[in-house]
Amino acid sequence: MANALTFPTREPHQAFRLSMLLNDSRYRSYTIQIFVLMCLMLGIAWLADNTVRNLALLGKDFSFSFLWSTAGYDINQRLIAYDTQMTHGRAALVGLLNTVVLAVLSCVLATIIGVIAGVLRLSGNPIVARLMTVYVELFRNIPLLLWILVFGAIMSEAVPAPNAFKGENATASMIFGAVAITNRGVFIPEPLFARDLGTLNLGIVEPSLNALVILLVVIGCVLVNRALMRRASQVQSQTGIRPATWWKSAIILAAPPLLLLWAFGFYLGYPELRGFNFQGGLQLRNSLIAMWLGLSIYTGAFIAENVRAGILAISRGQTEAAHALGLRPGKTMRLVILPQALRVIVPPLISQYLNITKNTSLGLAVGYMDLRSTLGGITINQTGRELEGMLLIMLIYLSLSLIISGSMNVYNARVGLKER
Amino acid sequence: MKKSLFLATLGVVALLSGTATAGTLDEVKARGKLNCGVSSGTAGFSTPDAKGVWQGFDVAFCRAVAAAVLGDPMKVEFVPTTGQTRFTALASGEIDVLSRATTWTFSRDTDLKLTFAGTNFYDGQAFLVKKELGVSSAKDLNGATVCIQSGTTTELNLAEYFRINKMSYEPVPVDSSAEGERQYQAGACDVYTSDGSNLASVRASFKNPPDHVILPEIISKEPLGPIVRQGDEQWADIVHWTLSALFAAEELGVTKANADQLADGSDNPEINRLLGKEGDLGKMLGLDADWARRAIAAGGNYGEIFATNLGDQTPIRLERGLNALWTKGGLMYAQPFR
């Protein structure tokens, strides 16, 4: 009660009046917020009501049952078993997997291109630096769709047809007898196993057991190798001398997978020309290549700028200090600059990965059968379920993007500055 | 209190948004032009000429409807659509009539809530290949790469045909006929499949048409015709009877040249009824008595439209075949005007 004499801790009680909702600054903000919220809800309600009424006017109902009816159309690139007698839902899944594959391939390639171009743009060599500037400005400033179409046109117009590989005086030949670049796509050897363990039936997808076992073994090897590295770092911090680990790493990483491949009877299936086209091998279709190159090189230009910004954000003193310690430029970049630059690079990189994932929906332009072309294109067209199909597609892209940004945020938290 | 206010506002909004929509005929008249969905460039069917004026078989039909409804065949706004966008454009009201080589199928008629106003072209799916491939039958196409327009019935027919004949193929989906032609000419596919009429039109546009053959197999029935939204019977009737008037005109010998003269009266009561001299058929349709004469004068009767856009004198060189009048061995048949 001592300070109650000088500071009144409680305002005098005042009866609540309706006018206080507008005049009293304590309540006004709530009034405004509730008003805006109501407007928003009204807007949504109006949209929903309008949709329901118009659907009723057209005599259409709102139902997802079309996902279980027979699709009837073919999809050229499929990672899981699919034929025309399967359902629209299955076709959508095939499309979704195609979207994911394209997104992953493009993210990887775009990152590689972006990091190299970003670092080279800061190179001391003026020719290299200027070339990278030209690359970045050229690709960044022309719409992505045009690049995709350009790559699509190059793949279908500028490379030989399969029958150019045929006959006595063939005008085209396979690279090393293994890779055929044709206007139907690029054919590369496919990995095959003489001793096949069959497939694991998970109901919807049936992954090959061989591939699963190899994947598990590789993951195991990487984990063991990391333990080895941790041990080496421990020894280094205790004694100052880092034990030689390279031959141990090489054995741990290479030997078990190679042994496993030998045990499975691994061999390569080469593509060969039969009838109209190459058979066997793995076919990377024109549409995939056009999309992959278009997305990667276009987005790589943006990533290059992020990388450059990240590197420039690290003060020059860091480089000088590293040089003073006797680190070579390559090691300076790898051990000192890049780890710090990653903190600046990763957040915008997440946006670029999201952009790539969403931009895969341009696949329709070159006939790439992604989610947009299957569920959002042919299925909607054959069943007339525009609203349901589009809502479903939006939901899937949203979930896909949230998963990517979620996992990238985890990575960002790991490379980020640990403030304690 | 807030809840009741919310509900009251919701009620008002619901009332406002629920106002009845006017009929398509009134909309078209108020707008002063007809919105007509066509394919985005198929020689002979719908393509802009050197002056940017749309020409072709599908275009001529829209001009006839515009002439009947608005009195001027040029008052048409042509909206290019793709196989994938056409039905959405129609359902959303962006176009009033879809005149775009669209196949009349059960599910489109019922489930997609479309009304087919009739058939103005009997077609069938065929295959176009380069002569140098040495293929003489569709049965030889096992393993071929096939370019196909996405979102069409041809896509489904193709899948079924290869399935039934136990052959495999590699589909290359394309977005439009133009893209399909480009891919086929570049050799990105061995075969281009589409409706026979479309293939004839595509082949006619090639530099050296005899280097390409259309295989003899017709693997589907494709009755093509104009389409309107379901639920507006008056508009559907207008489109249907405009089409019928064009057939009837050919049956009765009414042509672009003599329509005006015959409209003054003739000995044939059916011609008089058609051209509005007798009876009040136009009024029953919600139009004036002169509607059919204007529709015929726009581009001629069905036979004339066929001849000017697809016939012997054009690069497409299509025979009438099934599209001849029923009196001449074809399937074209006008419902009686009485």
- pLDDT tens profile A368-394: 999 998 998 889 888 888 888 999 999
Listing from the earlier edge strand, what are the strands of the sheet with A282-284?
A180-182, A185-188, A282-284
CB contact under 8 A, B155 and A276: no
Which positions in chain B touch A76 (Cβ < 8 Å)?
Answer: 170-173
Three-class SS state of B130: strand
Pairing of strands A185-188, A180-182: antiparallel
What integer best gives the mean pLDDT of chain A?
Answer: 86
Residues in Cβ contact with A59 at an 8 Å cutoff, skipping those fewer than 6 apart: B113, B230, B231
Least CB–CB distance from B113: residue in A58, A74, A156: A58
Closest CA relative to residue B117, chosen from B335, B337, B329, B338 = B335
Residues in Cβ contact with A230 at an 8 Å cutoff, skipping those fewer than 6 apart: none
In this prediction, residues A331-339 reach a mean pLDDT of 85
**pLDDT over threshold 80, residue A12:** no
User: A27 or B240, which is more confident?
Assistant: B240
Residues in Cβ contact with A133 at an 8 Å cutoff, skipping those fewer than 6 apart: A121
Residues in Cβ contact with B50 at an 8 Å cutoff, skipping those fewer than 6 apart: none
A64: DSSP letter:
-
End-to-end CA distance of chain B: 64
Considering only residues 224 to 253 of chain B, which have any Cβ-Cβ distance to chain A shorter than 8 Å? 229-231
Q: What is the dihedral of CA A51, A53, A56, A62, to 10 degrees?
A: 30
Would you state the structure tokens that stand for residue A149, as one six-digit string? 């179409």
User: Each residue of B107-164: pLDDT tens digit?
Assistant: 888 888 889 999 999 999 999 999 988 888 888 898 889 999 887 888 889 999 999 9
User: Each residue of A219-271: pLDDT tens digit?
Assistant: 999 999 999 989 988 998 888 888 888 888 888 888 888 888 888 888 888 88
Which positions in chain A touch B108 (Cβ < 8 Å)?
Answer: 384
User: Each residue of A31-54: pLDDT tens digit?
Assistant: 889 999 999 999 999 998 988 888
User: B145 or A124, which is more confident?
Assistant: B145
Calpha distance A360→A106 (Å, rounded): 9
| Domain positions in chain A | 19-52, 190-268
**pLDDT over threshold 50, residue B84:** yes
Q: Angle of helix A126-140 relative to helix A286-312, nearest 10 degrees?
A: 120
Considering only residues 263 to 322 of chain A, which have any Cβ-Cβ distance to chain B shorter than 8 Å? 274-277, 279, 286-287
In this prediction, residues A271-291 reach a mean pLDDT of 85
Residues in Cβ contact with A13 at an 8 Å cutoff, skipping those fewer than 6 apart: none
Pairing of strands B191-195, B144-149: parallel
User: Each residue of A95-113: pLDDT tens digit?
Assistant: 999 999 999 999 999 999 9
Calpha distance B206→A217 (Å, rounded): 57
Which positions in chain A touch B190 (Cβ < 8 Å)?
Answer: 276-277
The pLDDT-based confidence of B19 (bands split at 50, 70, 90) is very low
**pLDDT over threshold 60, residue A181:** yes
pLDDT number for residue A90: 92
The pLDDT-based confidence of B40 (bands split at 50, 70, 90) is confident
Pairing of strands A272-274, A277-279: antiparallel
In this prediction, residues B225-229 reach a mean pLDDT of 93
**pLDDT over threshold 50, residue B20:** no
Residues in Cβ contact with A269 at an 8 Å cutoff, skipping those fewer than 6 apart: A189, A190, A191, A192, A280, A281
pLDDT number for residue A197: 75
A86 and B CB contact within 8 Å: no
User: A117 or B7, which is more confident?
Assistant: A117
Write the single-letter amino acid at B16: L
In this prediction, residues A200-214 reach a mean pLDDT of 80
pLDDT number for residue A175: 78
Which positions in chain B touch A45 (Cβ < 8 Å)?
Answer: 10, 13
A76 and B CB contact within 8 Å: yes
B13 and A CB contact within 8 Å: yes
Closest CA relative to residue B184, chosen from B155, B213, B164, B157 = B213
A-B C-beta contacts closer than 8 Å: 120
CB contact under 8 A, A184 and B145: yes
The pLDDT-based confidence of B13 (bands split at 50, 70, 90) is very low
Closest CA relative to residue A389, chosen from A403, A377, A400 = A377
> To probe the interface with A, which of B147, B175, B193 has the most A CB atoms within 10 Å?
B175
Closest CA relative to residue B273, chosen from B249, B250, B255 = B249
Residues in Cβ contact with B107 at an 8 Å cutoff, skipping those fewer than 6 apart: A382, A383, A384
pLDDT number for residue A72: 87
Residues in Cβ contact with B35 at an 8 Å cutoff, skipping those fewer than 6 apart: B28, B76, B77, B79, B94, B95, B96, B97
**pLDDT over threshold 50, residue B303:** yes
Question: In chain B, where does DSSP find H-type helix?
Answer: 2-17, 24-31, 57-70, 86-91, 106-110, 153-164, 177-186, 196-204, 233-252, 259-263, 269-275, 281-285, 291-299, 302-309
**pLDDT over threshold 80, residue A92:** yes
**Distance of residue B230 Cα from the nearest chain A Cα, in angstroms:** 7
> To probe the interface with B, which of A42, A154, A381, A388 has the most B CB atoms within 10 Å?
A381
Distances (CA, A) of B338 to B34, B69, B240, B331, B334: 27, 20, 15, 21, 12
From the centroid of its chain, how far is CA B70?
A: 20
pLDDT number for residue B66: 95
User: A206 or A238, which is more confident?
Assistant: A238
**pLDDT over threshold 80, residue A167:** no
Calpha distance B91→B89 (Å, rounded): 6
pLDDT number for residue A344: 87
> To probe the interface with B, which of A361, A382, A390 has the most B CB atoms within 10 Å?
A382
CA angle A60, A66, A70 (to 5 degrees): 135
Residues in Cβ contact with A177 at an 8 Å cutoff, skipping those fewer than 6 apart: A270
A74 and B CB contact within 8 Å: yes
The pLDDT-based confidence of B15 (bands split at 50, 70, 90) is very low
Give the largest Cα separation in chain B, rounded.
81
Please, are residues B159 and A73 in contact by the beta-carbon 8 Å criterion? Answer: yes
CB contact under 8 A, B173 and A76: yes
- Backbone phi, psi, residue A93, to 5°: -65, -40
Residues in Cβ contact with A274 at an 8 Å cutoff, skipping those fewer than 6 apart: B143
pLDDT number for residue B165: 92
pLDDT number for residue A8: 54
CB contact under 8 A, B188 and A183: yes
A48 and B CB contact within 8 Å: no
B158 and A CB contact within 8 Å: yes
pLDDT number for residue A1: 47
